[in-house]
Amino acid sequence: MCLLRFAASYRKPLVAERIAVRDGGAPAWGVEWTCDMDEQIRQATRHWTLAQPVVSAFILSLVRDFSARDDVLQETAVAVIESFDRYQPDRPFVAWALGIAQNQVRLYVRRQHRERLVFDDALVAQLAQVFETLPSEPRTALGYLRECLGHLENKARELCELRYGRDLRPAEIADTVGMSANAVAKALQRIRDQLRACIERKSVVEGSSL
């Protein structure tokens, strides 16, 4: 497998430079290897693209905060690509990526001086296994989510936008919409149950085995 190492002076290679290297020229943009970068990237992209939703949800299950999830997910993506040369293809990629994600979550918590995670290490490892072995059907069925969101009434859509678009917690939403925090939490509960039911219904009717 090719090594993918970048010198400190790395910059994005120009197309002409990449063609020159592919044709046998020396790299001039701070990359230390000479094998086919495109193939390496293609493989990494293919694996990461399929694994990313599960890794993202796993990270979120631990940190709960959306912006923390974004930070850790980005760091995980970089770590996955940087160490892709150490990935052994006979091992499931998702399991490998989830291992990296666990380390990145720990690093993040330490770096940000955040409160400890709710779950202990043993439970985190157990959850990683569960996420890794989730069947693909429920994930595929989530493709109906957008359609189901479209069926929500205006008020429900607004609450969803405040929770998921603006990343507000129920108590903060309550302040914005003039409801009690408990009423917001209950309303969100109903909306999400409704969305789950809608997704299930659609996957049964239209068949989710794509």
Partner 1 sequence: MTSGSPEQIWRYLDGEMSADEESQFQEWLRASSDNAREFAQITLLHDRLRTEHLLDAVVSSAAHESAATAVVVRRRSRPLAFLGSLAAAGAVLLLLWLGIGRTTVSAASELDRLLRAQSQGPDKTYEITVERVAAPSPRHTERDQEHRPPKPSIDGALLHIRQGNQFVLVRQLPNGQQFLTGCNGQVSWAIRPEGPVRVSQDLSRFNRDVPGHEQGMPLFDVEHDLEQLRTAYDVQLLPVENGDDAASEQEPTRLIVAVKKRGYRGPQRVEIAYAVRSGRIHQWRFVDMPYGPERLTLRLTLTDEAHLGPAFFDHATHHAPDRTIAEE
Residues within window 77-136 making contact with partner 1, judged by CB under 8 A:
77-78, 81, 118-120, 122-123, 126-127, 130-131, 134
- Nearest Cα neighbor of 98 from 131, 74, 65, 63 is 131
* Smallest distance, partner 1 to C-beta of residue 46, A: 9
Under the binding rule (CB under 8 A), the answer on residue 194 touching partner 1 is: no
Q: How far apart are CA 207 and CA 181, in angstroms?
A: 38
Q: How far apart are CA 200 and CA 36, in angstroms?
A: 44
For partner 1, give the closer residue by CB, 25 or 38.
38
Contact window for partner 1 (CB under 8 A) among 18-26, 90-98, 99-107, 147-155:
147-155
Identify the residue among 86, 153, 165, 205 touching partner 1 (CB under 8 A).
165
Q: How far apart are CA 159 and CA 173, in angstroms?
A: 8
For partner 1, give the closer residue by CB, 77 or 100.
77
Contacts (CB under 8 A) with partner 1, residues 30-69: 41, 44-45, 48-50, 52-54, 56-58, 60-61, 64-67, 69
* Smallest distance, partner 1 to C-beta of residue 102, A: 15
Q: How far apart are CA 46 and CA 122, in angstroms?
A: 30
Under the binding rule (CB under 8 A), the answer on residue 146 touching partner 1 is: yes
Query: Could you tell me if 113 and 76 are in contact, meaning their C-beta atoms sit under 8 angstroms apart?
Result: no
Please, what sign has the CA dihedral across residues 132, 135, 140, 145? negative
Identify the residue among 21, 141, 159, 187 touching partner 1 (CB under 8 A).
141
Q: How far apart are CA 136 and CA 117, in angstroms?
A: 28
